[in-house]
Amino acid sequence: MGAVLPQPLSKFAAGIVIAGQSGYLIAVNDILYQISTWLLPLTMAIVFHEVAHGYAARLFGDNTAARMGRLTLNPVRHVDPVGTLALPMMLAVAGAPIFGWAKAVPVNPARMRNPRWHMVLVALAGPGTNLLLSIVALFGMAAVIATLGDADTPARAFLWDNLSNFIVINIMLAIFNMLPFPPFDGSHVVEGLLPRPIAARYAAIRPFGMALMILLFVGIPLLFPEANVIARLIGPPVQATLEFANQLLSALV
């Protein structure tokens, strides 16, 4: 599926204070800076996630994504203007839960040599790539510390914020997209692991996946804010992974 956007973008909506003309300028500058340090890593994470699905599918015999020109790092080919950019930013500014999507890379399991198991690996390729990218970013942060130290410069701050946000986004994308129900990548893994008769019944709910996602992550939070669905589902594994990332960074420096 297209990479689903989790909560991190909401951070740039925090701390905006408008108090007269100077306060307005500070607020605008803060918003622009936060967007610049979230949008670049977010776009990169989504693009690599989708391209990984396509390359994995081609490895196993399905060249659908390649024929449609989707095996490219050009974000224009993957970013949905509404689902990836406009909607998440409007929700973030409004302080609402972030919800969005990217253009899904087309995959045809019937073209794969072993559709059942190869589709599982194709589904894992996106989240797996996100986790790999978070490790690469950790080495980038270690390099910043080694070369720039604690230098208080705008360039270092911008680079550091992009790398740290890149780690958070990739970890959250990986875990968020492994939720075990349609349309998330995790649903394909579950479908491949279930016995065939049960898998067939499970696959029958796939057409309702988008409606289910909207219900869980928009409808329920609006009607029952105390349910805190997103935090309960992905909060613990995300926190544990981020703590491990901090430990790894400490070991690197």
Q: Which residues are tagged catalytic?
A: 50
Alpha-carbon separation of residue 201 from 108, 124, 198, 215 (angstroms): 20, 22, 5, 21
Alpha-carbon separation of residue 63 from 57, 67, 123, 173 (angstroms): 7, 6, 15, 25
* DSSP annotation string for 9-50: GGGGGTT----HHHHHHHHHHHHHHHHHHHHHHHHHHHHHHH
Give the long-range contacts of residues 218-224, CB within 8 A, separation 24 or more: 218/97, 218/99, 221/97
Measure the CA–CA gap between 116 and 110, rounded to whole angstroms: 9
